[in-house]
Structure 1
C-alpha cells in the first residue's frame, strides 16, 4: 500500500525501523487503558508483529498506519480493527504522542483513513469506542461527523474504577 498523504502528515505501513517507536508507545502505561494492555510487550514480540503487519486487511482483519509529521518522524498510529467485509464495517482508533496533540494532525489522519475506508474498502460504517471522559477524542470524532449511538456502562476498569465507554458511528 502506498503512503496516504494529508495536509501536514502522511500515513504509512509499519516498518522494521519502527521497533523503538512501537516499543515506547505500546509500553507507555498512559495508553494501556484504551488498548486493554496489562503487561509490557517485549521487543521480540513487537518485531514479530511488525513482520506480520504486511498482511492484507482482508486476511488479518486489522491494519495499523503510522502517522508521520512533515519531517517523516512517527508521531502516532491509527488503527483499523475488527474489519468485517460481510457487514461492511470496521472499527477505528487513533493515538498521538502527547507532544503532537492540538496541532491538527489527528484530524488530518482521521480524514485520510475515513476516505480510505469508504473508497477502497467499500465499507458502510466506521465505529469508534471512546471512554466518556476522553473529551479530546470525543471532540475529534464528532468534528468528523461520527454520531454517538450508545453507552456501555462501567465497560472499562482502570485505576480501581469503572468508566463508561461510548460507541460512535459514521455511516455512509
Structure 2
C-alpha cells in the first residue's frame, strides 16, 4: 500500500478537509487540543504558516482520495530535529495508512530535510499509536506524568523519538 500513498503540501483548498478533523473531538483528543477551530482561524494559521520554514504540512492521499493530514513541526535546522504529528480521517482509520504514512514522513525528514532526530508525544493509553511508532522504530525517551487532559482525566505522555542512524526503511 505504501506506494499507493502520496503526500502533497497543504493548499488552501485542503482547509475544509482539515477543519472537519480539527472540530472532531475524537480526533483532537489525541492532538491534545480542544476541538474548536473556526474556518477563519484555520485560514489565518495557514496564511501565517506560508511565511514559516519551521513546518512541513501535507495532505495524505490514497489513490487520489484525501485520508489524512501529516507533518513535521517546530523544525530546528541548526539542531536538525523536528516534531512529528499525524491525523487520519476517522472514516479511513484502521486501514493501515498510519504506519506507511509515518514511514513516508520519517523518510522525508531524514532524506529531504537532513534531519537527525524526529520526536513526538503520545498519551500512554493510545496503544495503537504507540505500536505504530514502535513498528517504525521510535523508542520511548521519557514520560511526562499526568501531562495531558483527555476525555475527562489526566494522562501520562510518552516522549518518543527516532534517530536517523537507527532508522531501518
Normalising by structure 2, what TM-score?
0.88
- Unmatched runs of 5 consecutive residues or more in structure 1: 1-5
Q: 1:69 aligns with which of 37, 62, 65?
A: 62
Residue 26 of structure 1, CA deviation: 0.9
The whole-number CA distance in structure 2 between the counterparts of 1:35 and 1:159 is 12
More displaced stretch, 60-69 vs 140-149: 60-69
- Give CA deviations for 1:24-76 in whole Å, capped at 9, x if unaligned: 11111112223332362111122223334444xxx341121111111x22111
- Structure 2 residue 29 is the aligned partner of structure 1 residue 33: yes
SS at match of 1:7: helix
| RMSD between superposed Cα atoms in Å | 1.9
Match of 2:112 in 1: 120
- Structure 2 residue 94 is the aligned partner of structure 1 residue 98: no
Match of 2:45 in 1: 49
The whole-number CA distance in structure 2 between the counterparts of 1:30 and 1:20 is 17
| 8 Å contact kept, 2:29–2:151 | no
Q: Point out 4+ residue stretches in structure 1 off by more than 4 angstroms.
A: none
How many aligned residue pairs are there?
A: 164
Normalising by structure 1, what TM-score?
0.86
